[in-house]
Amino acid sequence: MFAIAKQAEQVFSEFKEIVQFQLIVSRTGERDELVAKIELADASIDEARLSVLLSERFPQVCRVRLDRIEYVPRGTIPQERQTIVDERKWE
C-alpha cells in the first residue's frame, strides 16, 4: 500500500482546492471498497466538478479507481494522519 499512498499524495497535491485527504479501504461482501475523504479549502468549491476530475485522474496515476468521494468538514481529518486506513477485517 506504500506505493498507492505515494501516488495518491501526488494526485491530490495537483488540486489546490484540497487541503487534506485520507483514503479508507473497507470490504463489502467479496469486494474491497476505496473511499476518499476530502477537506476543501472553502465551501464555494464545486464538489461535483472536482469529483469528476479526481475520478478521472486517480486511476491514471494509482491504477485503481475510487469507489466514492466524501467531502468532510475542515478539521475532520487529523493533520498527522495515515494516508491510507485499512478497515478490512480478516478472519
Q: What angle do CA 6, 50, 47 make, to 5 degrees?
A: 125
In the chain, what are the domains? Answer: 2-86 (3.30.300.30)
What percentage of the chain carries pLDDT values higher than 90?
86
| DSSP codes joined into one string, 37-89 | EEEES-TTS-HHHHHHHHHHHHHHHHSS--SEEEE--TTSS-SS--SEEE---
Query: In this predicted model, what pLDDT tens digit does every residue of 23-36 receive, in sequence order?
Result: 999 998 889 999 99
pTM for this structure?
Answer: 0.90
In the chain, the amino acid numbered 62 is C
Query: In this predicted model, what pLDDT tens digit does every residue of 31-58 receive, in sequence order?
Result: 999 999 999 999 999 999 999 999 999 9
